[in-house]
Structure 1
Amino acid sequence: MTRPCTWRKSPFSGGGEGNACVEVAHLDTHIAVRDSKSPARATLTFPTVSFSRFVEALKEAGR
């Protein structure tokens, strides 16, 4: 049985309705990513560890 995803987007999303960004959902062992402007289209999934490392690298680059 597949559980429904709870999609989240950054509070720093673009102006207006805040739909100029990507959304993420935590799955059991992966992170799903989709375009907030086209939520019904395909999603990308990444192993949780890999996605976490990616986010940490982005934070480091922004310092």
Structure 2
Amino acid sequence: MRFKEYIESLPNQRYEEVLKLSKLCRVNESTVYRWLRGDFTPDPLKRKVISDYLNIPEKELWPDV
């Protein structure tokens, strides 16, 4: 499941999950939304943090990287 697909699968918790991810990665919420839109991809360290937090392999979240 790609990163965007995972977040979109959380209809009632989407905003809370974005907040948690922004705090974990120490970025602004708008940065997480840019990742979701595909404007750019998180750097390798942030991808690792997100992957560990979601317990989904990094290659599954971002297969094109």
Is the pair's TM-score, using the shorter chain for normalization, greater than 0.5? no
| Superposition TM-score, scaled by structure 1 size | 0.29
Which has the larger strand fraction?
1
Highest Rg: 1 or 2?
Answer: 1
Higher relative contact order (CA 8 A, sep 6+): 2
Which has the larger helix fraction?
2
| Superposition TM-score, scaled by structure 2 size | 0.29
